[in-house]
Every structure is written in structure tokens, then in C-alpha cells.
Amino acid sequence: MTEQSRSEQRGGPEQQSGFPRRDAEGRVRTLGDLLGVCLAGVVIGALALVLFDWAFASVGAGDFGHTNGWLAVILPAWLFWDDFRAWEFGAARVLAAVVAAAVGVFVGLLIAGLGAGMPPLLSGALAAAAFTVAYAVVWFPGVRWLARRTG
């Protein structure tokens, strides 16, 4: 039996409770975990925006639906930053993050543009969700592939 498997049986550093599941270095283990937590974060962020927008609209501080829905990306961005920090310093994580951000922003802006007739809260929240999925789908395999290639 290897030392790693013994450590896992004892509940050592390889086993961490919580969601998303992380490895010993603190990196998210699976793309499904990353997407699940990030999309839950977008939903929570969008619901918070709806609540704040409704509250401000009810006191006459603006019309409902005119808050920028892109703000729903705050919680997923926080998780992306946390996963970025978990990777050791090097070009792999920086390059993967830059490419993922570029793809994510492009996809998000494309969705926002397609929803131009919708209220900003809705089109922005959809764009934030699209950004989140695109970023995660590029970041997760990209940083792992680049890290293996660069050693």
C-alpha cells in the first residue's frame, strides 16, 4: 500500500470535506465540481441582484431590471481566483487564466449582445453565466495541460 493511499484512509491531507472537492494543494478536483459551484454562485448573485434591484425600485431609486446583471459573476470569479492561487507560480496558470478570461469575456459579450432587447439585469445575468461556463471549460483542462507541458 502506498503512502498516499494510507494517508487517504486515515483522512489525511488528501481528503478534504466540503464542496467543491479539492486536492492536497487546494485545487478543485473535477470540472463538474467547478461548474456546479460556479453556476450556483451565478444564481445566488443574480438572486441578490434581483433583491437589491427590487428594493431600490420600491423606494423610487430607479426602475426594476436596470441593474447590471454582470455583477452576478462576483462569486464565480472569487472561486476562479482561489483556484488560480492554488496552482504553483508559473506561466502555466497565468497563460491559462488569460486565455480563459479572453474566451469567457468574448462568449459573455456575445450572449449580452444577443440579449440586447432584454432588461440589463437579465441579459447581464445570462452573460455572466455564459462567461462562467466558458471560463471554467477553458481554465480547468487548460491549466492542467499547460502544467504538465511546462513541468
CB burial of residue 130 (10 Å; 0-12, 13-18, 19+):
buried
Q: From CA 90, how far away is CA 150, in angstroms rounded?
A: 9
Return the closest-CA partner of residue 138 out of 86, 103, 105.
Answer: 103
pLDDT classification of 17: cutoffs 50, 70, 90: low
Mean pLDDT of the chain: 82
pLDDT tens sequence across 85-136: 888 788 888 888 999 999 999 999 999 999 888 888 888 889 999 999 999 9
Residues 65-90 pLDDT 10s? 778 888 889 889 998 888 888 887 88
